[in-house]
Chains A and B, each alone.
Chain A
């Protein structure tokens, strides 16, 4: 069983909708990540939060808005998405920022379809 929980598992939305993806971990990790994965491709880093502060934004379009309310929760707010944004969105966590080896613990993902 994964210790990183993502909801919903599947989401279908129109281009004018506003929706959110949620991620939760209770391992005491202080770094959390959003990745986007297209079919038959590797995960692509979107955002990294370290100690609840945004530390990395990989030039992601503003229609994706991350939020880290506390060290256990990570949200990804979606607005005015395009069909090409359809993908598997993966959340991950790692023990800490700083001298962290970078081992990631992944959730099972939220599969997003934009119509």
Chain B
């Protein structure tokens, strides 16, 4: 079975600093990987996804992530944090089931706080 592990339940950075949220995956087949963001009292919004092709994936709001097969990682980065980035971030892996809909497995989440 596929799974993802997010290192660090809470990350705090200063405004303007680099954001790095860590995610490692476990999969016996090439995975589809995602980062979702959840603002308070809202649903989840897709930030970016890796399916095939280029290993550096760019998403919305200036975020990007790099798929590293050798390290089984898919870390999320942003060069300069903004106050509006404060939210909960979930890494996820898709278990593609060709006979039916895919099954998405979420990591435990990382809460990002931004210091003024």
A residues at B contact (CB < 8 Å): 2, 4, 31, 33, 40-43, 45, 48-50, 55-56, 90, 92, 94, 96-109, 111
A106: chain B residues at CB < 8 Å are 36, 43-45
* Contact residues of B between 96 and 111, Cβ < 8 Å to A: 96-104, 106-109
Query: Which of A102, A105, A107 has a CB less than 8 Å from the CB of B102?
Result: A102
19 pairs of residues in contact across A and B, judged by CB atoms under 8 Å: A40-B109, A42-B90, A43-B106, A45-B104, A50-B100, A90-B44, A94-B102, A97-B97, A97-B99, A97-B100, A101-B32, A101-B96, A102-B32, A102-B34, A103-B34, A103-B49, A104-B104, A106-B45, A108-B42
Q: Is B55 part of the contact surface with A, judged by Cβ < 8 Å?
A: no
- Cα-based distance from A73 to B51 in the complex (angstroms): 28
Closest to A109 in B: B43
Are A50's CB and B101's CB within 8 A?
yes
Q: For this complex, into which size category does the number of interface residues on chain B fall? A: 20 to 34
Which 3 A/B pairs are nearest by Cβ-Cβ distance? A102-B94, A102-B102, A55-B100
Closest to A6 in B: B43
Give the distance in Å from the alpha carbon of A55 to the alpha carbon of B100 in the complex: 6
Interface residues of B in 16-44 (CB under 8 A from A): 32, 34, 36, 41-44
- In the bound complex, residues from chain A placing their C-beta under 8 Å from that of B95 are 102
Which residues on B sit within 8 Å (CB–CB) of A56?
Answer: 100-101, 103
Contact B102 A43 (CB under 8 A): no
**Cα distance A40–B51 in the bound complex, in angstroms:** 28
Q: Is B83 interfacial (CB-CB < 8 Å)? A: no
* Chain A residues whose CB sits within 8 angstroms of the CB of B98 once the complex forms: 98-99
Find the B residue at minimum CB distance from A104: B104
Which residues of the partner chain B approach A100 to less than 8 Å between Cβ atoms?
A: 96, 101-102
Docked Cα-Cα span, A104 to B97, in Å, equals: 15
Q: Find out whether the CB atom of B101 lies under 8 angstroms from the CB atom of A33.
A: yes
A43 to chain B: which residues have CB within 8 Å? Answer: 44, 90, 106
A41 in complex: contacting residue of B41, B49, B94, B109, CB < 8 Å: B109
B43 touching A107, Cβ below 8 Å: yes
- The answer, yes or no, to whether B46 is at the interface (CB within 8 Å) is yes
